[in-house]
Amino acid sequence: MDTAESEPPQLLLIYGGHEGGRTFAMVDAVKSGIAGAEEHVELRSLRALDAGVDDLLWANGLIIGTPEHFGYMSGAVKDFMDRTFYPTEGKVAGLPYAVFVSASNDGNGAVNSIERIAIGYRWKRICDPLIVKGELDALAMAQCRELGETMATGLALRIW
């Protein structure tokens, strides 16, 4: 087994939103799902404004969390993509990614905008986007945990 295969895969979780908001609660639930595979995956969880090129190049998988703002992703997530696209162009093709959205409306605008940009990066979506409309309930939190667990387990097993 070479060094790359013996090191745990690296998972980057970036998110927008305001501290204490629904998106932050969803981030915590996603992280709790990742925790089950924590010994097999290295997690770097950052606010989108604090994440950059080095973080994206470091990652073997990416989870993006955002609130829906005016039918679009958060400005912080868009800023992350603006700052990292050209410096990583051609270097992150095939990166598995997943998206979760805290939506006031239907969340589709936020998802569509992220997915259009992901096509440019040539990332590989590993599951349907998780859109939670309105207040968070037990089912929504369970879905967030499942999203984190799915990504972490897939990386740990080197499925994607």
Cα separation, 47 vs 15, whole angstroms: 5
The parts of the chain modelled with pLDDT lower than 70 are 1-5
DSSP 126: -
Range of the structural domain that residue 150 is part of? 3-156
* pLDDT tens readout for residues 23-37: 999 999 999 999 988
Tens digit of each residue's pLDDT (9 = 90 or more) over 36-47: 887 899 999 999
User: Three-state SS for 87?
Assistant: helix
Report the pLDDT value the prediction gives residue 20, as an integer from 0 to 100: 86
pTM higher than 0.75 for the full model? yes
> Is the Cβ–Cβ distance between 65 and 71 less than 8 Å?
no
CATH of the domain at 32: 3.40.50.360
Number of domains in the chain: 1
